[in-house]
A and B are shown apart, each in its own frame.
Chain A
């Protein structure tokens, strides 16, 4: 009888222990709309008390580049060329109906008109909220990029093993 009571008490105590809430996002896409989703989720979660990590890889690296528009960033001819065509957050295309870069401008206009935060405002909010921004070491190596090519709020350059360690115990989304 006492065993059942003890078990119930232990279960009740267990449910009362609050695990720190954690959200980790893998920002793979450099598309304007997908980056907007990434930063909306990240800032919203951080504002309601989650620990938030964003791991930028491949096209997602564009979001946190120091140079906001197109620039020949990277070491070597091919990385520089890639860097130029990838651009920064200001040059991000939308994933559908991009209309040669016209759609992101229309989206920004509609977002401002409807008083919804633009991608740039969300990125600034993410920095202000102290969201942990991480860069993918492997993707940076391919693209000839260095930590100095990114905004100073970037916390670290990581590999898969460290990211898995950091994201353990929370929810992880790939965008």
Chain B
């Protein structure tokens, strides 16, 4: 079975849409697929990976891309 990788950029979003868009995207993708979320440091970086873990998803990687921009890889 091929696992797909999806991308989501929430660097231009603000609370609560940072969480809302991540949650809705995770609901759309298939189990086992990965979601790479581009987000900003601060609240999105602190809470998007945390809430994904709390909801039973696996956070595979958090890496800094450029300055305040980070990429969080979540597996459904």
Contacts and interface: CB of A to CB of B under 8 A. Distances in A.
Interface of A: 40-41, 43-44, 46-49, 114-117, 121-122, 125, 128-129
Contacts of A49: 51, 54-55
11 contacts: A43-B20, A46-B23, A47-B16, A47-B20, A47-B23, A48-B47, A117-B17, A117-B20, A121-B17, A125-B17, A128-B24
Majority-rule SS of A interface residues = helix
Interface of B: 12-17, 19-20, 22-24, 47, 51, 54-55
Majority-rule SS of B interface residues = helix
Given A48-B51, A129-B24, A40 B12 contact: no
B51 A47 contact: yes
Given A125-B16, A128-B20, 9 more contacts: A40-B16, A41-B16, A44-B15, A44-B16, A44-B19, A47-B23, A47-B51, A49-B54, A115-B14
B23 A129 contact: yes
Contacts of B47: 48
B22 to A, nearest CB: 7
B14 A129 contact: no
A39 to B, nearest CB: 9
A44 B20 contact: yes
Contacts of A114: 14
B39 to A, nearest CB: 13
A129 B28 CA distance: 12
A47 B16 CA distance: 8
A117 to B, nearest CB: 5
A136 B22 CA distance: 32
A47 B19 contact: yes
B16 to A, nearest CB: 3
Which 3 pairs show the lowest CB-CB distances between chains A and B?
A44-B16, A47-B19, A48-B51
B57 to A, nearest CB: 10
A117 B16 contact: yes
B22 A47 contact: yes
Contact of A40 (B15, B22, B51): B15
Nearest to A44: B16
B2 to A, nearest CB: 27
